[in-house]
Amino acid sequence: MSQILTFVYAMILFISIFLVAAEVDWIYHLCDTDTDCPEHWSKFFIYKCVNHVCDSISKVTTDSKEYKNFP
């Protein structure tokens, strides 16, 4: 009985590795230009197309007054 449970546990772990690896591709938004990226999602960050992948870039600069309140 314990061998069956160990086998089932090992199979669940083995299958979950493939499910997680398959979901990683959904994290990145592929793009050609900045307009292909999603709209801004934060007050402090925007999406820019960097190496054909949308990347979040900080809008806050050290010169802005928001920088002093930036965590």
Q: Is the pTM of this model over 0.85?
A: no
Q: Assign 3-state DSSP to the chain and report helix, strand, coil percentages, each to 5.
A: 45, 20, 35
pLDDT tens per residue, the chain (71 residues)?
Answer: 788 899 999 888 888 777 665 555 556 778 898 888 887 667 778 888 888 888 888 776 656 555 555 55
Domain chopping of the chain, boundaries: 2-69
pLDDT of residue 6: 92
Query: What spatial distance separates the first Cα and last Cα of the chain, rounded to whole Å?
Result: 54
Q: What pLDDT score does 19 carry?
A: 67
Bridge partners of 57, per DSSP, are 46
